[in-house]
Amino acid sequence: MDFLLWSVRSVHVFSVVVWLGGLMYQGVVMLPVAKAEQKEMGAQTLHSLRRFVPFVWMCVWTVLVTGIGLMLFSPRYIIGEFDNPWSVLLGLKQLTFVLMVFFSFGYARMLSRCTEIVTAAKPGTSPDNPAPYYQRMLQFGRINIALGIGALLLASGLH
């Protein structure tokens, strides 16, 4: 049983690292470089951002399944009871996860809209301006990073 718990916890942590690490790489390395080169909404930048979206969904499902497993294997978990600090922290961590999934949907939707506008632009036409969608996408990414850091702090209180 200890090996199973160790394995599930390891996969859980690895998925969180991939999810948050990818968001941080995009927000701290890739997007500032694209901005410095005036290629923020260039085809290559949007393609690179779009390639990360499947990893996000893979990590979301993995974190969800392994998180449920860790929760159910814990002897401290009692369904629907929030009478001790551990249960309250767990509930807050679950709420944070739900918010992260919500903002990930928004991020993916704004990225999709940006890509549609940029790829549909033809010379001589005036398409929608992708900048508001791009800015909202960046905002969702920053919110997700902040929520992820908060979830990590909450998780550190669970042990």
pLDDT digits (tens, 9 = 90+) for 10-36: 999 899 889 898 888 888 888 888 888
Average pLDDT over residues 84-94: 86
Radius of gyration, CA atoms only, the chain = 19
Determine the pLDDT at residue 155.
Answer: 85
Range of the domain at 76: 2-158
- Cβ-proximal residues to 7 (8 Å cutoff; 6+ apart), any chain: none
- Would residue 79 be called left, alpha or beta, if left means φ above 0 and alpha means ψ between -120 and 50 degrees? beta
**How far is it, in rounded angstroms, from Cα 68 to Cα 26?**
28
93 closest CA partner among 14, 18, 150, 20: 150
Distance, CA of 34 to CA of 145 (rounded, Å):
19
Tokens of 69: 């497993």
Residue 87 Ramachandran class (φ > 0 left, ψ -120 to 50 alpha, else beta): alpha
Query: Model-level pTM?
Result: 0.85
Total number of domains constituting the chain:
1
| Cβ-proximal residues to 31 (8 Å cutoff; 6+ apart), any chain | 40, 45, 138
Percentage, residues of the chain above pLDDT 70: 95
* Rounded Cα distance, 103 and 144, in Å: 6
Q: Quote the CA–CA distance of 100 and 26 in Å, as a whole number.
A: 16
